[in-house]
C-alpha cells in the first residue's frame, strides 16, 4: 500500500484535481480544489486518530479524503461515482482489493442523496468534507455576487470552523463562528440541514453523537 505522501505525487490525480478546481471555479462554486482537499484530508486523519481507527484506516481515510472531489472535472452531477472509478483506474496496483474497496466507498459516499453507508472510513471522510465551511472557500471576488448566492454568502459569513471530538461525552461537535450581520443563522440551516443530517449519520457509525455549536450556542 502507498501512503498519502506518495499518492499526492501522482501526476494524474494532481492534474484531475487542478482541472476540477478550474471547472468549478468557472461555475462560481466554492473551492473544491487543492486547498479544500488538503484541508479535508488533514481533518479526516485527525478524526480517524481521535475516534480510534487503526493506522491503516487513518491512512486510507486521509487518501480517500484527498481524492474525494477528483471526479468534478468530468461532471458535477456524478462526481462521487466518477471519482471513485478514476481513483481505481489510477491506483489499482497500489492497494489491496480490500483497501481499494474502502477508498472507493468513501469517495462515492461523500456525496449521495441516499445516506446508506456504514463504513467507518466513509464516515470519517463525510465528517471532514461536510464540515469544511469557511470564508476562504468563496472563490468569487465580486462582493455583489457573494451576496446574491446563498452558498457563497453563508460560507463567507463563517470566519471560524473547527471539528471538536469530545471522547468522554462521545460527541463530535462542529463549532462555527458566524458573522450574523452578514448572514442570519437561519440561512445556515436553510442550506446545510442535509449536510448536518449527513454528519449525524456519519457520527453515529463511529459511535458518536453529532453536535453543532454556532457562536457558542449548542444548536444540536
Which residues would be at the binding site for Fe ion (CB under 5 A)?
69, 111, 129
Closest CA to 12 of 107, 87, 84, 63: 87
Nearer to Fe ion, 112 or 171 (CB): 112
Nearer to Fe ion, 81 or 182 (CB): 81
Min separation Cβ 168 and Fe ion, Å: 30
Min separation Cβ 186 and Fe ion, Å: 24
Min separation Cβ 184 and Fe ion, Å: 25
Min separation Cβ 218 and Fe ion, Å: 26
Nearer to Fe ion, 88 or 180 (CB): 88
Nearer to Fe ion, 21 or 111 (CB): 111
Nearer to Fe ion, 75 or 159 (CB): 75
Coil, strand or helix at 120:
helix
| Cβ 43 vs Cβ 65: under 8 Å | yes
Coil, strand or helix at 112:
coil
Coil, strand or helix at 146:
helix
| Cβ 125 vs Cβ 103: under 8 Å | no
Residue 142: alpha-carbon gap to chain centroid: 25
Min separation Cβ 180 and Fe ion, Å: 26
Closest CA to 106 of 133, 137, 130, 75: 130
Amino acid at each position: 500500500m502507498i501512503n498519502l505522501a506518495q499518492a499526492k505525487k501522482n501526476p494524474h490525480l494532481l492534474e484531475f484535481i487542478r482541472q476540477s478546481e478550474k471547472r468549478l471555479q468557472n461555475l462560481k462554486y466554492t473551492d473544491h480544489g487543492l486547498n479544500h482537499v488538503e484541508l479535508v484530508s488533514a481533518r479526516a486523519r485527525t478524526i480517524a486518530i481521535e475516534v480510534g481507527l487503526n493506522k491503516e484506516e487513518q491512512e486510507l481515510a486521509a487518501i480517500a479524503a484527498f481524492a474525494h472531489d477528483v471526479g468534478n472535472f468530468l461532471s458535477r452531477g456524478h462526481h462521487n461515482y466518477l471519482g471513485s472509478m478514476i481513483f481505481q483506474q489510477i491506483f489499482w496496483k497500489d492497494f489491496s482489493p480490500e483497501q481499494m474497496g474502502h477508498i472507493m466507498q468513501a469517495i462515492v459516499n461523500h456525496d449521495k442523496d441516499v445516506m446508506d453507508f456504514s463504513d467507518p472510513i466513509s464516515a470519517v471522510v463525510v465528517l471532514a468534507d461536510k464540515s469544511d465551511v469557511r470564508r476562504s472557500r468563496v472563490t468569487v471576488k465580486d462582493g455583489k455576487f457573494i451576496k446574491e448566492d446563498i452558498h457563497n454568502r453563508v460560507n463567507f459569513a463563517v470566519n471560524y470552523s473547527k471539528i471538536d471530538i469530545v471522547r468522554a461525552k462521545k460527541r463530535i461537535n462542529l463549532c462555527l463562528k458566524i458573522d450574523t450581520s452578514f448572514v442570519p443563522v437561519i440561512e445556515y440551516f436553510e442550506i446545510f440541514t442535509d449536510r448536518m443530517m449527513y454528519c449525524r449519520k456519519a457520527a453515529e457509525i463511529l459511535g458518536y453523537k453529532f453536535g453543532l455549536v454556532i457562536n457558542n450556542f449548542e444548536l444540536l
